[in-house]
Amino acid sequence: MEPDPPQETHPAPDAGDPSPSDHAGGDMPAGDGAEPEAAADGPPGPLAPGLYIVATPIGAARDITLRALDILRTADLLAAEDTRSLRRLMAIHGIRRDGRTIIASHDHNAGQQLPRLIAALRDGRSVALVSDAGTPLVADPGYRLVREAQAADLPVRAAPGASALLAALAVAGLPTDRFLFAGFLPVKAGARTRSLAELAAVPATLVFFESPRRLAGSLAAMAETLGAERQAAVCRELTKRFEEVRRGTLGELAAAHAAEGPPKGEIVVVIGPPPERVAGPEALDEALAAALEGASVRDAADSVARSLGLPRRVVYARALEISRE
């Protein structure tokens, strides 16, 4: 996916909320019930050498783990997408720099900083990597550093925590048993439509990040390509003072945001799976079989697409298959 401009994806936090702004994260599948290793929960001590991928809050500053605070207190070197956000977070939690180096590490200076960070890891130092907020690497910088560290057989450890992706899934009220994170859609309309068309038939809930000024246009494209009747939620400013979740069909949400103009803050769009994923794949075939008895393939596809709220191209392709059978 084409990355979003930094000024769009990382707006300043709400007035009165000293926490840094948004981004995403991930989570690990459930384990076998074994107890966590004692070392992970023990008192803070010298940090073992290696690269630490540290999740930071997406809004409320207190949404940070004790382990993340320990790492930020004791890491030899701190690498941040935005050093100002990291300094502000450290100040909120009373973490002193104590002469340690804080460097900016992002996609634009990777050629200069990446060798420096790998050299520090080779020297046996501990390096904490944080993005502007949330979990690094999820629609944020860090992939190249992790890849090169692993290629050099250097330790890479995750300190999981806040996640705009998971927070949105938790409050959207849509199926979460299967989901696909699609990041940011391309900026240009044609590329955006092509990307959505590729995702139209994915049998899972879809999650996107979007900028406020492009939200109305993206929702309109989603309604046209994925189906206007598809259930969705627009999640704004998650964990912040003006948090808002608006639910409805894509058509309803597109019309509302087109009328209101761009909102403020960070946006996550969650779209429920295609209706056949919810009702079962046989629902589409049954509807098409009945419609094809008295109509052409084109007319039957049009009728079923409207009734089920499915993208016409998906229904038409399946109608062709059934007619040939």
6-162 and 165-273 in the same fold: no
What are the residue ranges spanned by the domains of the chain?
Answer: 6-162, 165-273, 278-324
pLDDT digits (tens, 9 = 90+) for 18-77: 444 434 444 433 344 444 444 445 556 789 999 999 999 999 999 999 999 999 999 999
* Cα separation values, 15 from 5, 8, 12, 20, Å: 22, 18, 9, 11
pLDDT-derived band at 78, boundaries 50, 70, 90 = very high
pLDDT-derived band at 276, boundaries 50, 70, 90 = low
- CATH class of the region 165-273: alpha beta
| Residue carrying structure tokens 């000293």 | 18
**pLDDT for 309:** 60
pLDDT digits (tens, 9 = 90+) for 103-154: 999 888 878 899 999 999 999 999 999 998 999 998 888 999 999 999 999 9
248 strand-pairing partners: 232
pTM: 0.73
* Cα separation values, 46 from 14, 40, 69, 218, Å: 36, 13, 13, 48
Structure tokens at 175: 């199926």
How buried is 138 (Cβ within 10 angstroms: 0-12 exposed, 13-18 middle, 19+ buried)? buried
Non-local (6+) Cβ contacts of 64 within 8 A are 55, 56, 57, 89, 93, 161, 162
Question: For the chain, how many residues are written?
Answer: 325
Phi-psi region of 124 (alpha: psi -120 to 50; beta: other; left: phi over 0): left
Range 6-162 has CATH code 3.40.1010.10: yes
**pLDDT for 36:** 43
